[in-house]
Chains A and B, each alone.
Chain A
């Protein structure tokens, strides 16, 4: 029985300096995951398969993390020139400032690994790997793990199709579900579907908004 922490320790001793970090899951399930740096992912994945017995990749999926904007109020102390009783003095003043920080978003690929080799006598708990792209727009490349786990082939194609992560080293990276001419990535959070809301007999919530927007934008169609 190996926990994710133990796997991490083994990886760190086998690949000193490699970019492998533990992402802690604070929920009761405590299913932690390993975040692989894109540059070191392939040898680490091969080691997981060959040395640690993670020979079955059951599931690959994508996550779209938008830019995270945090607004914080920070108290800063600075010296301000002030007139006190008609005398020019420099006074320390505590000012509350609002600081806006933007953490850039990224696309993430998540791999779920199991060990078929280690049976009930030496059970290996499932292992979760993650890889993250540099951003969501122009640098969306990740190394493909299909050379290590063949079962990732179609699922990486699906992620490429729906999230737009480009897997380097994938042998046949084409769209899987949408047609080849399609240009968008529909599972991204900022995907806007085509405006075909001209006929909504039972509109509600989001659909109602889109239908109203459509009829406001296309009055010539409404007149027909």
Chain B
């Protein structure tokens, strides 16, 4: 239950600070999202630029890039995910502790991008792990990554602590481990995790004419 903004301001004028546990908890979480320090391709260069003085991701509480999945809250998929790399990416995601979030950065990470019809590139990392924010671009500018980060902060802020929409780490029954694809003779096996990526409805697969 949120405090009404007008009432909050009015009370603030009187020197009374009112908040809810939910708000306080999410305020703390959204302002200390520590990304994992790993880059996959050219988008990583933009990600590095975002953390440097000119763009300064530290303003959003995300200055600490942790080199271990155990200490990270956010996975920025910065670049092309090849089919050879995908199992390692999923394994790293599995090793992260909840609460954890994923930003898929750039055309390759969200769909395969220019390499989509290649033999070695995954058609989007969202086929294996749940992605919270997708950023298009090739590569996205640092501003775009900051925008994605702010979008993620808004998402964290809006998460209720109870009910069906609560984050995974507060749901004991939530799926915590995602199956790591196995490299097989012709493709990764399985090629997609349907629980994470149900087939999106398109004109072609719903049988309607375009």
Residues on A lying within 8 angstroms of B by beta carbon are 177-184, 186, 191, 193-194, 196, 198-201, 203, 206-207, 211-212, 215, 221-224
Q: A194-B186, A199-B200, A199-B202 are in contact. List 13 more A-B contacts (CB 8 A).
A: A178-B84, A179-B84, A182-B186, A184-B119, A184-B185, A196-B123, A196-B187, A198-B205, A203-B204, A206-B117, A212-B204, A222-B207, A224-B199
Chain B nearest Cβ from A177, distance in angstroms: 7
Task: Collect the chain B residues with CB atoms within 8 Å of residue A180's CB.
Answer: 183
Q: How far is the CA of A223 from the CA of B185 in the complex (A)?
A: 29
For the complex, what is the distance from the CA of A212 to the CA of B205, rounded to whole Å?
9
CB–CB B185/A178 < 8 A: no
A222 and B119: CB pair below 8 A? no
Contact with A along B157-189 (1 / 0, CB 8 A): 000000000000000000000000001111100
B185 touches A183 (CB 8 A): yes
Given A186-B119, A193-B119, A179:B183 Cβ within 8 A:
yes
Report how many residues on chain B are interfacial, defined by Cβ distance under 8 Å. 20
State whether A178 touches B120 (Cβ < 8 A). yes
- Interface residue B191 (Cβ < 8 Å from any Cβ of A): yes
Chain A residue numbers with a CB within 8 Å of B119 are 184, 186, 191, 193
Q: Which residues of B contact A (CB under 8 A)?
A: 83-84, 117, 119-120, 123, 183-187, 191-192, 199-200, 202, 204-207
Q: How far is the CA of A186 from the CA of B199 in the complex (A)?
A: 27
Using Cβ atoms and an 8 Å threshold, which residues of chain A touch B204? 200, 203, 211-212, 215, 222
Q: A191-B119, A193-B119 are in contact. Are A198 and B199 (CB under 8 A)?
A: yes
Smallest Cβ distance from B127 to chain A, in angstroms? 9
Contact B187 A194 (CB under 8 A): yes
Which residue of chain A has its CB nearest to the CB of B207? A222
Checking A183, A199, A212, A224 against B186 with a beta-carbon cut-off of 8 angstroms, the contacting residue is A183
Q: How far is the CB of B93 from chain A (nearest CB, A)?
A: 19
Q: Tell me, in angstroms, the Cα distance from A179 to B119 when the chains sit together.
A: 12
**Distance between A64 CB and nearest chain B CB, rounded to angstroms:** 14
> Which residues of the other chain, A, contact B120 by a CB distance below 8 angstroms?
177-178, 186
**Closest 5 pairs between A and B when the two form their complex, measured CB to CB:** A186-B119, A194-B187, A179-B183, A183-B185, A222-B205
Q: Is the CB of B84 within 8 A of A207?
A: no
Q: Which of A179, A181, A212, A222 has the most CB of B within 10 A?
A: A179
Closest A residue, CB atoms, query B183: A179
Whether the pair B205, A194 counts as a contact (CB closer than 8 A) is no
B77 to chain A, nearest CB (A): 19
- 11 residue pairs bridging A and B, Cβ less than 8 Å apart: A178-B120, A186-B120, A194-B191, A196-B123, A198-B199, A199-B123, A199-B205, A201-B202, A206-B117, A215-B205, A222-B205
A194–B187 alpha-carbon span in the complex (Å): 7
In the complex, A180 Cα to B87 Cα: how many Å?
Answer: 14
B184 nearest CB neighbor, chain A only: A181
Q: Return chain B residues, CB-CB under 8 Å to A223.
A: 207
Q: Is the CB of B199 within 8 A of A207?
A: no
Contacts of B200 in A (CB 8 A): 199, 201
Residues of A within 8 Å of B199, CB to CB, are 198-199, 221, 224
Greatest chain B CB density within 10 A among A177, A191, A199, A200 is at A199
Q: Which of A182, A193, A196 contacts B185 (CB 8 A)?
A: A182
Q: Please, which residue of chain B has its CB at the minimum distance from the CB of A222?
A: B205
A221 contacts B205, C-beta separation under 8 Å: yes
